[in-house]
């Protein structure tokens, strides 16, 4: 009734988000969701969205994929890192509808 998948979470500059989503599309992800980021601290120090009202420096991209697609994303790490993501993490998850992912 539920089906094992991988949840990929990527934090990246909004400027480079298209590079990430195009790669996910090409590697077989059936979809993704992009969330706004208010602020963050990482290797490059503190970063805050400069403009009130939604224009932020970073976005979070969440993408749920099969294990095979996740393996392709991991194998494409060099290309993915070209977008200079702050974070790439993978988590095991389950979905209700296998046909959607």
Judge whether 6 and 67 are in contact, CB under 8 Å.
yes
Site for a second copy in 68-97 (CB under 8 A): 74, 77, 80-81, 86-97
- Minimal distance, residue 27 CB to a second copy, in Å: 13
Q: How wide is the angle at C-alpha 52 spanned by C-alphas 17 and 85, nearest 5°?
A: 20
Contact status: 2 vs a second copy (CB under 8 A): yes
Contact with a second copy (CB under 8 A): which of 31, 82, 84, 98?
31
List all residues 6 or more positions away from 34 whose beta carbon is below 8 Å from its beta carbon.
Answer: 17, 21, 59, 60, 61, 62
User: Residues interacting with a second copy, by CB under 8 A?
Assistant: 1-2, 5, 7, 9, 11, 21, 25, 30-43, 49, 52-55, 58-60, 62, 64, 74, 77, 80-81, 86-97, 100
């Amino acid at each position: 009734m539920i089906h094992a998948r991988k949840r990929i979470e990527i934090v990246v500059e909004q400027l480079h988000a298209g590079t990430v989503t195009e790669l996910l599309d090409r590697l077989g992800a059936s979809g993704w969701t992009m969330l706004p980021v208010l602020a963050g601290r990482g290797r490059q120090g503190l970063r805050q969205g400069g403009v009130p009202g939604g224009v932020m420096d970073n976005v979070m991209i969440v993408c749920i994929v099969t294990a095979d697609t996740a393996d392709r994303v991991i194998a494409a790490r060099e290309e993915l890192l070209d977008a200079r993501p702050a974070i790439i993490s993978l988590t095991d998850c389950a979905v209700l509808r296998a046909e959607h992912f």
